[in-house]
């Protein structure tokens, strides 16, 4: 069995060495430009088009991440028949769930307990206790109820927030109120105090964090985006902040990454940003998951996490 790996620059050999221990029977190599030798499986993170061009006979392409929008773009812009012929499989959790729950819980609590305002008060040497909206009156909406969105919604429920989830097709998560489809988006968003985005990036979700949606939220609501920068219309957020519709935002992802010097988010006091670090997949857990799936495919067993290009995730 031949496995071709691409990603993580100089750390790629750490990944391939770990994978060799999990799949001792496999021949594993790191892709170099010009390598068109046969492979059964690709394991990739943001692969160059040349790696996929004219490649046939693949059984599966494993994406080293939850979001497959980079592969979707590759498929749209380049001739990559392999992406239609082979199974394309995303990581599920792989260590990211707990980090995402921590990141979003911290952000929601930070805003609900008004720590962002205490930071400002401290800089101005102001001693002024501020009233807090109780959790029961602080509904949080989670967009995207897949593996990570589901874990985040359940985590926020455990913290005692009323949680609504919104997804393309109806999902059930214990303790959460479920909304689905574009027709239920306004009811989902109505009067939310905090909106959390964990959607996959597709044609239908690009730019979904926009003025129309913000106008449904409670006045002075909070936005947390941990999915993709292209979900957000940056100018709509800045305008919503200026008119007080949105009090503050916690952003981990951006339309252009790294966020370009001079982008207004750098200087906007109501924007709290991190450099796409909300959740990093764990190497061992990712490779164990991939190795298990390779064994399953080799023995004709079903696997989860398979991308459906019709749905774009």
Q: Give the active site residues.
A: 228, 276
Query: Of the two residues 67 and 139, which places its CB atom closer to ligand GLV in the complex?
Result: 67
Query: 163: which strand partners?
Result: 140
Q: Tell the smallest beta-carbon distance from residue 213 to ligand GLV (Å).
A: 22
Q: Closest CB to ligand GLV among 39 and 66?
A: 66
- Nearest CB to ligand GLV, comparing residues 63 and 112: 63
Residue 97 engages ligand GLV in binding (rule: CB under 6 A): no
| Closest distance of CB 253 from ligand GLV, Å | 7
The candidate with the shortest Cα–Cα distance to 237, out of 217, 256, 257, is 217
Nearer to ligand GLV, 116 or 206 (CB): 206
Question: How far apart, in Å, are the Cα atoms of 20 and each of 23, 30, 273, 287, 311?
Answer: 5, 12, 37, 10, 33
Position 66 contacts ligand GLV (CB under 6 A): yes
**Cis, peptide link before residue 258, omega less than 30° from 0:** yes
- In the structure, how many helices (H) and strands (E) does the chain have? 12, 12
Q: Which stretch binds ligand GLV (CB under 6 A): 10-18, 59-67, 139-147, 238-246?
A: 59-67
In the block, tokens 């985040």 appear at 152
Site for ligand GLV in 12-41 (CB under 6 A): none
Tokens 């957020």, residue located:
237
Residue for token pair 């819980």: 105
Assign residue 46 a region: left if phi > 0, alpha if psi is -120 to 50, beta otherwise?
left
DSSP state of 260: P
Is 65 among the residues that bind ligand GLV (CB under 6 A)? yes
Residues 124, 268: Cα–Cα separation, whole Å:
18
Per CB under 6 A, 101 contacts ligand GLV? no
Q: Which stretch binds ligand GLV (CB under 6 A): 5-13, 53-61, 63-71, 75-83?
A: 63-71
Q: Is 305 in the site for ligand GLV (CB under 6 A)?
A: no
For 116, phi then psi, to 5°, come to -65, -30
Position 47 contacts ligand GLV (CB under 6 A): no
Count the residues of the shown chain that bind ligand GLV, applying the rule CB under 6 A.
3
Q: Which residues pair with 195 in a beta bridge?
A: 141, 223
Rounded to the nearest whole angstrom, what is the least distance from the CB of residue 44 to ligand GLV in the complex? 12
Among 67, 141, 146, 155, binds ligand GLV (CB under 6 A): 67
Tokens of 48: 């160059």
Measured from the CB atom, the residue of 218 and 226 that comes closer to ligand GLV is 226
Residues that bind ligand GLV (CB under 6 A): 65-67
């Amino acid at each position: 069995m031949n496995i071709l790996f691409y990603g993580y620059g100089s750390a790629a050999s750490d990944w391939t060495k770990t994978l060799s221990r999990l799949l001792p029977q496999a021949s594993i190599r790191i892709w170099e430009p010009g390598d068109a030798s046969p492979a059964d499986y690709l394991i990739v993170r943001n692969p160059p088009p040349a790696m996929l061009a004219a490649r046939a006979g693949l059984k599966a392409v494993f994406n080293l991440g939850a979001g497959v929008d980079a592969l979707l773009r590759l498929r749209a812009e380049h001739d990559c028949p392999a992406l239609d012929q082979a199974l394309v499989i995303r990581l599920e959790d792989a260590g990211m769930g707990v980090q995402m729950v921590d990141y979003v819980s911290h952000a929601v609590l930070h805003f609900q307990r008004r720590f962002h305002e205490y930071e400002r008060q401290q800089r101005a040497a102001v001693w002024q206790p501020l009233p807090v909206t109780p959790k029961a009156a602080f509904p949080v909406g989670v967009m995207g109820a897949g593996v990570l969105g589901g874990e985040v919604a359940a985590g926020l429920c455990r913290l005692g927030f009323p949680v609504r989830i919104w997804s393309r097709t109806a999902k059930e998560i214990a303790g959460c109120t479920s909304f689905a489809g574009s027709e239920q988006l306004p009811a989902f968003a109505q009067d939310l105090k905090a909106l959390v985005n964990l959607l996959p990036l597709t044609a239908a979700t690009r730019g979904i964090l926009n003025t129309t949606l913000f106008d449904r939220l409670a006045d002075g609501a909070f936005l947390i985006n941990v999915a993709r920068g292209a979900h957000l219309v940056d100018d709509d957020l800045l305008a919503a902040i200026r008119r007080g519709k949105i009090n503050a935002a916690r952003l981990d992802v951006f339309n252009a990454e790294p966020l370009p010097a001079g982008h207004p988010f750098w200087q906007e006091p109501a924007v709290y940003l991190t450099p796409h670090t909300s959740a990093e997949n764990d190497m061992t857990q990712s490779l164990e998951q991939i190795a298990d799936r390779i064994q399953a495919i080799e023995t004709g067993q079903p696997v989860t996490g398979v991308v459906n290009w019709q749905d774009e995730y």
